[in-house]
Amino acid sequence: MDIELKPNTWADFTMLKKANARAQNNFYADADVEVFKIIFQPERSLSAFENGNIVGCTTSYSLDMTVPGGTVPIGAVAQVSVQTTHRRMGINTKLMKRQLSDMHEWGDPLSVLQASESIIYGRYGYGMASFEYTYDIERPHGSFAQKHQPKGRLSYIEEDEARQVFPEVFERATLLRNGMVKRNDTWWKFRFAQTGIRGGDPRAWFVKYEVEGRVDGYLWFAIKSAEFLTVKELITTTDDAYATLWQFCLDMDLVTSITAGRRADDEPLPWLLADPRRLKQTFKDASWIRIVDVPAALSARTYSTNDGLVIQVRDPFLEWNDGRVLLEGGPEGAECEQTDREPDITLSAADLGAAYLGGVKFQTMSHAGRVEENTPGALRRADAMFTTDLKPWCIDSW
């Protein structure tokens, strides 16, 4: 087997997308392929070739993710796949190793993906860093427990206005949730274009919620067969906007059921409802984070308490990460550097990635045998440092 790893070119693009779709039991029509061209970055796209044919592939997009205290550049990993004819040959491991090495050279401290199968990526050092719900509720059971009186007004808008209004609201909303990724003009163009991919229904409605001339939230939704409402995006910057837009969905005439996917795992919706048991909540993992550069990643965020910890990171997949670092940080910033001091805690790179945004406690992972406490009280101190007010959330997929 003569396999060559190399970046893709524009000439490879159609073959690349169709090979990726085939490996994931999907099918992309020519129109679907054209949509993906909007976000294609050939220099970050990597494939395994055999006799001129793509037998495995992966790509990443250069994006910025919100973390405590600011944003961090990430490599957003997508289209990881190996053709069925070439599985169990180590191709994916080679692709992942090369991709992460490239990110290290490019200066990406983090790699982030959403896993099609949760069993795959832990071996490459990715950890479950955020979680999400899909909500389903029948409209007759959507009454609020307490009467909500909106402070502003709702308006239907056309797509042209939505393209102007939504980005500013989304930008403000990303500052409220760690794990959200920024959308530049290219990604907004892709988001509006991708609704029709794989034969999907591109028809949608757009609603803005305005208070004293300021748009505090928006709703992007579709209705199938005149009675099934699907929330594509419900993005808000205030509690008032959140309650108002959900009330709008749950009160809509003729609709029998409402579905909303990719919702944060600590949203207040169940607490708004008079009969929360009627809200069906399907829970799953969302973003998986891979620490590409431990000192850079830990220095890039702030921490809830002022403290210092020596962390022993086990990372056999990326040898430059394997070792001890001294993290000293607080609400104003942080510094992290390699050290020879004795560790306070020991864990894998995957579990450090899982804890990075505050989505899981070190003590929880310790109870599962994944984190070792070397200094008494160190896990409690680590949890106090890494905790955040809200759970991490990322509504985007890529």
pLDDT tens digit sequence for 281-329: 999 999 999 999 999 999 999 999 999 999 999 999 999 999 999 999 9
Coil, helix or strand at residue 111:
strand
Q: What would the mean pLDDT of 384-395 be, rounded to a whole number?
A: 97
CB atoms within 10 A of CB 268: 12
Question: Would you state the structure tokens that stand for residue 296, as one six-digit string?
Answer: 């850079």
Let me know if residue 218 belongs to a domain: yes
Q: Are 47 and 187 part of one and the same domain?
A: no
- Give pLDDT, residue 31: 86
- Domain of 315 in residue numbering reads as 293-386
How many folded domains does the chain comprise?
3
Look at residues 88, 137, 177 and name the one whose alpha carbon lies nearest to residue 390: 177
Task: Specify the pLDDT at position 129.
Answer: 98
Residue type, 100: L
Q: Which among 240, 184, 245 has a CA at the least distance from the CA of 398?
A: 184
Instruction: Kindly report, residue by residue over 201-230, the tens digit of the pLDDT.
Output: 678 999 999 999 999 999 999 999 889 999
What is the predicted pLDDT for the residue at 198? 59
**pLDDT per residue over 104-150, tens digit each?**
999 999 999 999 989 999 999 999 999 999 999 999 999 999 999 99
Burial of 162 (0-12, 13-18, 19+ CB in 10 A): buried
The whole-number average pLDDT for the span 70-78 is 98
Residues 6+ apart with CB under 8 A from 8: 16, 42, 45, 46, 47, 57, 59
pLDDT of residue 28: 85
Helix, coil or strand: residue 73: strand
162 in a structural domain: yes
Examine the pLDDT at 246 and tell me if it is beyond 90: yes
Percent of the chain with pLDDT over 70: 98
Task: Look at residue 338 and tell me if it is in a domain.
Answer: yes
Where b means 16+ CB within 10 Å and e means fewer, 353-383 reads bbbbbbbbbbeebbeeebbebeeeebbebbb
Check pLDDT > 90 for residue 32.
no
241 and 225 in a common domain: yes
116 found inside a domain = no
